[in-house]
Amino acid sequence: MTGTEQVAAPEEPGAAPLKVESPIREAWRMFLRNGSAIAGLVLLIGVILVTFIGPQVYPVDPFEIVWAPLTPPGVDASIPFGTDYLGRDVLAGIIHGGRATLAVGASAAILTVLIGIVVGALAGFYGGFVDEILMRLTEFFQVLPPLLFAMVLVALFTPTLTTVAVAIGVVSWTQTARLTRAEFLKLKQLEYVTAARAIGSRNGRIIWRVILPNALPPLIVSATLIIGVAILFEAGLSFLGLSDPNVMSWGLMIGSSRSYIIDSWWAVTLPGAAIFITVLSVSLIGDGLNDALNPKLRER
Amino acid sequence: MKIAAIIAQRLFYAAILILAVLVLNFLLLHLAPGDPAEVIAGEMGGATQEMMAEIRAAYGLDQPLHVQLGIYLGRALQGDLGQSFFYNAPVVGLILGRLGATILLVVTSLTFAVVIGTLLGVLAARKPTGLFSNVITVLSLVGYSAPVFWTGIILVIVFAWVFPIFPISGMSDIRLAGGGIEHVLDVAHHLVLPAFTLGVIYLAQYSRLSRASMLEVLGADYIRTARAKGLSESVVVGKHALRNAILPIVTIAGLQFGGLISGAVLVETVFSWPGLGTLALDAILGRDYPTILGILFFSAVIVIVANLLTDLCYRLVDPRIRSGGHK
Amino acid sequence: MSEPVLEVDNLSVTFRTRNGLAQVLDHVSFSLGQGETLGIVGESGCGKSMTALSIMGLVPTPPGRIAGGAVRLRGEDLLSAGERRMRSIRGNEISMIFQEPMTSLNPVFTVGEQIAETVRLHEGLSQRDALARAVETLKAVGIPAPEKRVSEYPHQLSGGMRQRVMIAMALACNPSVLIADEPTTALDVTVQAQIFDLLRELQDRTNAAIVLITHDMGAIAETADKVVVMYAGRIIESGTVGEILADPRHPYTQGLIACVPHFLANPPVERPPLVEIPGLVPPLSDLGTGCAFAPRCRHVMPRCRGERPPLMAAEPGHEAACWLLDEAVPA
């Protein structure tokens, strides 16, 4: 320890933040430096624009029969992506079907993360008996193949967008719970947690206001990737016919054209490409966030 | 702790998990909207009044809930998971008839993914900034993001039109159903596309994982020691590094079994592979709940067994936890 | 002095770094004969370990590059030897003991296998004979119940035991040169002494030449015959252990010795606080033209900042790279 540091220490309290870059801003800067993350962000913005503004620009009803069935793309300028086995416009389906896919994906991801964080935080913070019970529960859920379990849940209840989102949330929270638990186990031993205890903070406050904010970086990365997983789930369920048949979605398009793969490749591969691009954009962003929020990787 | 004691403890946990899955199945039957008897009979079963009465009696549905649970568990432990009114056959028999196909598909895909993925990852790790390494990273991202049924469908289209060398549907050719080596080859021929489709997602993940793991291991002190002994680079990488780098792969491979079975449901549907996945889908479309729940049960058992095997494998590969007993 | 077994002659190594080319080793020369022990001393980052890796032919290239000089084993230049020849030398004629016994052994192979592997490779023994040799060497390095230990894994052994295994591994093929890179840093003090005793004893038996790399002057005093002091990739002082400890000429060497209080010829009655050399080793890519030690030197003169001092003889066989010598003995 040299003397210079001690001279520098007693500065004006307000002066310090001026020089130090806030961690969020620093992470953002790291994120922007990552080429593939930017590509992901641009792709995602594109997908969102198409999904939310597209229907106004291209107001064709995706359920309406507009042309002869199984018309390939390029036959007529009014149906650039062709028609499916019923003669419905594939492009209209892609543009109008994104909303349901994204909405189910996002709400399922939120539910997944919420359950995961609550279970993981309680297990990690309290340890002992609580931890034992919650971790056994997590192990139990990990034993059930997620898609099959979600299929059973959706099949037992009526297939609506809500059921699908809830089912996805119920089957896929285990990983978040394990991650949160690990972070809590690590963080609860640190000084500022002891300090918070020493000044008499309640457990609830320590869990949600003291530890959780510090555990967020890895959780944000994982949550981003979970959005992708949830979208894939929704698509998988719809492909199997387990989604609301009255709401157009990308998975539904693929699922309903399943028997016509050879006759109308466009009706299955194009909505599939939409799912792929969306999930890819989210994965790229997740990768970029991982590099930006994980200081250990920064040197590479 | 002795190995035998560890195995006994693991088996005990496995038994409890299996029991828990049965309880879950029971709960699902009762949580579903409507009369459990109707749920069991299924909407498509064309259940008559006599059948309903029969079901009520068999499952003790007029008794208190805990008695019903007892009856359910008792029947399940005797190998009776109910009757499929859709197929008009016992559920267990139906499932056992399809189980082999799914296990064949899943194990082949996993082996393909682990072996090839590790190999690619190891090659990539030798030049971590090279072109090949970047290709691996991109491929793993693509593999992770592409819906498995979409990949499958594209393969179906490609192999149906462009290169019709692999069958795109079913598990065997009816004309060759006689058995013998011809039949085995035929099944293998049918297996290529489904196994590749399912394996390729995990292939991407394993190559990325093994690349990262290998890079970490190659920087370890004991690798320097191995080089200082005068060992050739292939022995250093193939023996000293690989044996350590494979540890996280074994762990992940075990954890992914549930996901693998989920993927198998989709892949089986695309390629009409006669396994549990196609059975599950038919059962769901036919509202055949006993069969659906039976499949959920059996697939959970597959995962439990796979986890047990992984645990044992891990102990064989890593001497540090072989005697430790605790994770 | 006998015919030298190992000669390092004007060895220079550069490393490509983000801040440009770093001269990691700069014209390093020394030699040692059979049964001799050479100590290489210096702070971390001075080039000690890089010297060892260069002798073994294990400098990672790129980013490293051997820029010049020679390493000779009984007259044979190793830098121009092919990779095949180097592999037959490593672990056989020249072997090395590393700093971290905890991590330098492969966790997934038995101790016996790790020793036997070397013997199989270099002497072509069968697995059974190689394992017998492993038991023999484990016994020679003082490991109790070697027949049992041979089938154990590294994690089942203590740190001292692991370092003994490392030594057994290095000695299994009776090398003529043994390089020990900080062999005791990670160990308890009592174990350190045991390891040094073991090295000395083994040297008496096998007559191997030992290169002992350390930052610990105490270890040097107890085991070495000759000493080379390195700073920022160069040798700044060399001589016999007696000369260097009794009459260090370079201020840096003086500082190193002063760090170990009991070496002072006349310890003052009032013990001074532990001496520390202020400052850090400068970045190797940015050494400038003067003496690399000048920024930290108590006796720094204007000349030191502009001109780099060459190695100058203080007395026969004792050299130091410091302008103070030039002042003391005017030309």
Query: Is A17 within a domain?
Result: no
* Tens digits of residue pLDDT in C305-324: 888 888 888 788 888 888 88
Rg of the Cα trace of chain A? 24
Does B230 sit within 8 Å of C108, measured CB to CB? Answer: no
Instruction: Report pLDDT for A278.
Output: 93
CB pairs under 8 A between A and B: 140
Does C104 sit within 8 Å of B229, measured CB to CB? Answer: no
Does B230 sit within 8 Å of C89, measured CB to CB? Answer: yes
Q: Show residues of chain B in contact with A158, CB under 8 Å.
A: 33
| Residue B87, both tokens | 């197929």
**Mutation choice for B interface testing from A148, A160, A163, A280 by most B CBs within 10 A:** A148
Kind of pairing between the strands at C94-97 and C177-181? parallel
- A147–chain B Cβ distance below 8 A for any pair: yes
| Residue A53, both tokens | 């503004």
How far, rounded to the nearest angstrom, does the alpha carbon of residue C156 sit from its chain's CA centroid?
Answer: 28
- Point out the residue among A157, A228, A283 whose CB comes nearest to the CB of B32: A157
d(CA C292, CA C314): 20
Q: Is the pLDDT of residue B45 over 70?
A: no
Kind of pairing between the strands at C318-320 and C234-240? antiparallel
**Mutation choice for B interface testing from C108, C113, C171, C179 by most B CBs within 10 A:** C108
**What whole-number percentage of chain B has pLDDT above 90?**
15
pLDDT tens-place values along chain C, 331 residues long: 457 888 888 888 888 877 778 888 888 888 888 888 899 988 777 888 888 888 888 888 778 888 888 888 888 888 888 888 888 888 888 999 887 777 888 988 999 899 999 888 888 888 888 898 899 888 888 888 888 888 889 888 888 888 888 888 888 888 889 898 888 777 777 777 888 888 888 888 888 889 998 887 888 888 888 999 988 888 888 888 888 888 888 888 888 887 765 655 555 555 445 556 666 666 666 677 788 888 788 888 888 888 888 888 878 888 888 888 776 554 4
Name the DSSP letter for residue C331: -
Helices (H), chain C: 48-56, 83-89, 111-123, 127-140, 146-149, 159-171, 189-206, 217-223, 241-246, 251-258, 302-306, 323-328
d(CA B267, CA B306): 20
* Tens digits of residue pLDDT in B195-209: 998 998 888 888 888
Query: Subunits with at least 3 CB pairs below 8 A relative to chain C?
Result: B
**Mutation choice for B interface testing from A132, A136, A144, A170 by most B CBs within 10 A:** A144
Q: Is the pLDDT of residue A117 over 90?
A: yes
- Point out the residue among A147, A235, A242 whose CB comes nearest to the CB of B262: A147
Does B141 sit within 8 Å of A279, measured CB to CB? Answer: no
3-state secondary structure of C12: strand
The confidence band for A121, taking pLDDT boundaries of 50, 70 and 90, is: very high
Helix (H) or strand (E) holding C179: strand C177-181
d(CA C172, CA C161): 16
Mean pLDDT, chain B, rounded, equals 83
C153, closest residue in chain B (CA to CA): B319
Q: Spell A6-41 as b/e; 16+ CB within 10 A means b.
A: eeeeeeeeeeeeeeeeeeeeebeebbeebebbeebb
Of C186, C173, C170, C203, nearest in space to C97 by CA: C170
Q: Show residues of chain B in contact with A140, CB under 8 Å.
A: 17, 20-21
- Point out the residue among B225, B231, B317 whose CB comes nearest to the CB of C105: B225
Instruction: Report pLDDT for A169.
Output: 92
Q: How far is B327 from chain A (nearest CA, A)?
A: 13
What CATH number does the domain containing A69 carry?
1.10.3720.10
Residue B73 to residues B68, B69, B80, B247, B293: CA-CA distances in angstroms? Answer: 9, 6, 9, 38, 13
Q: Is the pLDDT of residue B3 over 90?
A: no
C115, closest residue in chain B (CA to CA): B229
Does B28 sit within 8 Å of A145, measured CB to CB? Answer: no
* CATH class belonging to C4-93+175-328: alpha beta
Query: Is A9 within a domain?
Result: no
Q: Is the pLDDT of residue B105 over 90?
A: yes
| Residue A137, both tokens | 């529960």
Query: Is A16 within a domain?
Result: no
Of A228, A254, A224, nearest in space to A239 by CA: A254
The confidence band for A6, taking pLDDT boundaries of 50, 70 and 90, is: very low
Instruction: Report pLDDT for B327.
Output: 35
Tokens 């030897």 correspond to C81
Q: Show residues of chain B in contact with C101, CB under 8 Å.
A: none
- B225–chain C Cβ distance below 8 A for any pair: yes
In total, how many domains does chain A have?
Answer: 1
Question: Phi and psi of C227, rounded to 5°?
Answer: -130, 140
- Point out the residue among B17, B142, B153 whose CB comes nearest to the CB of A272: B153
Complete edge-to-edge strand list for the sheet that includes strand C318-320: C94-97, C177-181, C209-214, C37-41, C226-231, C234-240, C318-320, C312-315
Query: Subunits with at least 3 CB pairs below 8 A relative to chain B?
Result: A, C
Does C95 sit within 8 Å of B240, measured CB to CB? Answer: no
Q: Which amino acid is at C73?
A: L
Instruction: Report pLDDT for A123.
Output: 93
Query: Subunits with at least 3 CB pairs below 8 A relative to chain A?
Result: B
Q: Percent helix, strand, coil in chain A (nearest 5)?
A: 75, 0, 25
Mean pLDDT, chain C, rounded, equals 82
The confidence band for A112, taking pLDDT boundaries of 50, 70 and 90, is: very high
Instruction: Report pLDDT for A294.
Output: 67
**Mutation choice for B interface testing from A143, A240, A275 by most B CBs within 10 A:** A143
- Point out the residue among A146, A158, A279 whose CB comes nearest to the CB of B145: A279
Instruction: Report pLDDT for B178.
Output: 61
Instruction: Report pLDDT for A1.
Output: 37
* Tens digits of residue pLDDT in B62-76: 777 778 888 888 888
CA B278-B283-B284 angle, to 5 degrees, is 100
Instruction: Report pLDDT for C280.
Output: 66
SS (H, E, C) C84-95: HHHHHHECCCEE
* Tens digits of residue pLDDT in A126-142: 988 999 999 999 999 99
For residues A188-211, give the mean pLDDT: 83
Of A60, A114, A49, A106, nearest in space to A87 by CA: A60
Rg of the Cα trace of chain C? 21
- Point out the residue among A140, A236, A287 whose CB comes nearest to the CB of B17: A140
Q: How far is A90 from chain B (nearest CA, A)?
A: 16
Which domain does A36 fall in, by range? Answer: 26-297
For residues B295-306, give the mean pLDDT: 91
B231, closest residue in chain C (CA to CA): C87
Comparison of pLDDT for B244 and B315, the residue scoring more: B244
* Tens digits of residue pLDDT in A69-92: 777 777 777 777 778 777 788 888
Q: Considering Cα of A124, then A125, then A128, then A130, what sign does the dihedral take? A: negative
Q: Show residues of chain B in contact with C117, CB under 8 Å.
A: 229, 231
The confidence band for B21, taking pLDDT boundaries of 50, 70 and 90, is: very high
Query: Is A250 within a domain?
Result: yes
Q: Spell B281-318 as b/e; 16+ CB within 10 A means b.
A: bebbebbbbbbbbbbbbbbbbbbbebbbebbeebbebb
Taking the alpha carbons at both ends of chain C, their separation in whole angstroms is 30
Q: Is the peptide bond before C272 cis (omega within 30 degrees of 0)?
A: no
**Mutation choice for B interface testing from C87, C106, C114, C120 by most B CBs within 10 A:** C106
SS (H, E, C) C221-250: HHHCCEEEEEECCEEEEEEEHHHHHHCCCC
Residues 220-239 of A with CB under 8 A from B: 228, 232, 235-236, 239
- C98–chain B Cβ distance below 8 A for any pair: yes
Structural domains present in chain B? 15-77 (no CATH), 99-322 (1.10.3720.10)
CA dihedral A49, A55, A57, A58 (to 10 degrees): 130
The confidence band for B323, taking pLDDT boundaries of 50, 70 and 90, is: low
Residue A100 to residues A228, A253, A286, B221, C246: CA-CA distances in angstroms? Answer: 14, 12, 22, 53, 85
Q: Is the pLDDT of residue B46 over 60?
A: no
**Long-range own/partner contacts, residues A190-197 (CB < 8 A, 24 or more apart):** none
Does C100 sit within 8 Å of B230, measured CB to CB? Answer: no
C104, closest residue in chain B (CA to CA): B222
